[in-house]
């Protein structure tokens, strides 16, 4: 049941790849609640995913943008305001990538080129996005920005390797820009029910949790 909770609100939703994506589900619910928004993802990700189907379902425009490029982010915010007819009320940053994790490289042996790429894509992109919006005065009063984090930013999960550090940076960026903007800046994460500061592989196995 919809309640028009977002009626009249304009947004930018990043990172919707397919129906399994968190951003995809957010877009569906935002549309259901009356929001209008643009969808965006990196061009290479768009070729791999099904974003066109989501755009059709939610009556949304797609603006390709590499979130590591200030120039493309500037174009994203410029076009979004033109398409939506005003400043932006909400932004979902749902962007994350670690080559080290994909290649199963252990934390003590991280490839630093991969590490730097992960920082740029998964955390620095939030800073660039918000910096562009700040300089353009693109966000409405009382706008909200939501970024997706993980409990490993604050606790040790060995399988999360460099992304734990990267998510910690993401959270710091959100706090810092929250101060400068005076906005609601949220990092959403689920701690999995763990209350300890570290989880060993043995504990994970005993809990029936395996690496994805």
Write down the domain spans for the chain.
10-206
pLDDT at 17 over 80: yes
**pLDDT confidence band for 184 (50 / 70 / 90):** low
> Which whole number is the average pLDDT over 138-165?
93
Cα four-point dihedral sign 16, 22, 26, 28: positive
Q: Which CATH architecture has domain 10-206?
A: 3-Layer(aba) Sandwich (3.40)
- How many angstroms separate the CA atoms of 117 and 111, rounded? 10
Q: Which residues contact 210 (CB under 8 A, 6 or more apart)?
A: 204
Higher pLDDT, 195 or 72: 72
pLDDT at 20 over 80: yes
The pLDDT assigned to 75 comes to: 98
pLDDT at 169 over 60: yes
pLDDT at 157 over 60: yes
Burial 71-81 (b: 16+ CB within 10 A, else e): ebbbebbeebb
The pTM of the full predicted model, rounded to 2 decimals, is 0.87
**pLDDT confidence band for 207 (50 / 70 / 90):** low
Q: Which helix (H) or strand (E) holds 147?
A: strand 139-148
With beta carbons less than 8 A apart as the criterion, state whether 100 and 164 touch: no
pLDDT at 202 over 60: no
Q: Judging by beta carbons within 10 Å of its beta carbon (0-12, 13-18, 19+), is residue 149 exposed, middle or buried?
A: buried
With beta carbons less than 8 A apart as the criterion, state whether 67 and 42 touch: yes
Angle at which helix 70-84 crosses helix 125-136, to 10 degrees, equals 50
Mean residue pLDDT of the chain comes to 89
With beta carbons less than 8 A apart as the criterion, state whether 132 and 80 touch: no
**C-alpha 70 chain-centroid distance:** 16
Tell me: the pLDDT tens digits for 124-149?
Answer: 999 999 999 999 999 999 999 999 99
**pLDDT confidence band for 91 (50 / 70 / 90):** very high
Q: Judging by beta carbons within 10 Å of its beta carbon (0-12, 13-18, 19+), is residue 34 exposed, middle or buried?
A: middle
The pLDDT assigned to 197 comes to: 37
The pLDDT assigned to 198 comes to: 42
The pLDDT assigned to 211 comes to: 53
């Amino acid at each position: 049941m919809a309640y028009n909770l977002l009626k009249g609100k304009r947004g930018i939703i990043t990172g919707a790849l397919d129906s399994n994506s968190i951003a995809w589900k957010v877009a569906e619910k935002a549309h259901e609640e009356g929001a209008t928004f643009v969808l965006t993802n990196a061009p290479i990700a768009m070729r791999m995913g099904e974003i066109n189907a989501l755009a059709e379902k939610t009556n949304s425009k797609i603006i390709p943008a590499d979130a590591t490029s200030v120039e493309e982010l500037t174009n994203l915010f410029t076009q979004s305001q033109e398409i939506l007819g005003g400043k932006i009320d909400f932004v979902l940053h749902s962007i994350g990538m670690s080559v080290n994790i994909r290649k199963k490289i252990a934390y003590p042996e991280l490839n630093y080129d991969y590490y730097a790429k992960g920082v740029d894509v998964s955390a620095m992109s939030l800073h660039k996005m918000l910096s562009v919006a700040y300089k353009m005065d693109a966000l409405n009063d009382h706008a909200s920005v939501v970024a997706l984090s993980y409990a490993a930013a604050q606790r040790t999960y060995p399988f999360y390797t460099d992304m734990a550090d990267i998510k910690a940076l993401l959270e710091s960026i959100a706090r810092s820009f929250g101060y400068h903007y005076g906005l609601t800046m949220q990092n959403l994460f689920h701690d999995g029910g763990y209350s300890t500061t570290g989880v060993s592989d043995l504990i994970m196995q005993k809990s029936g949790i395996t690496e994805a």
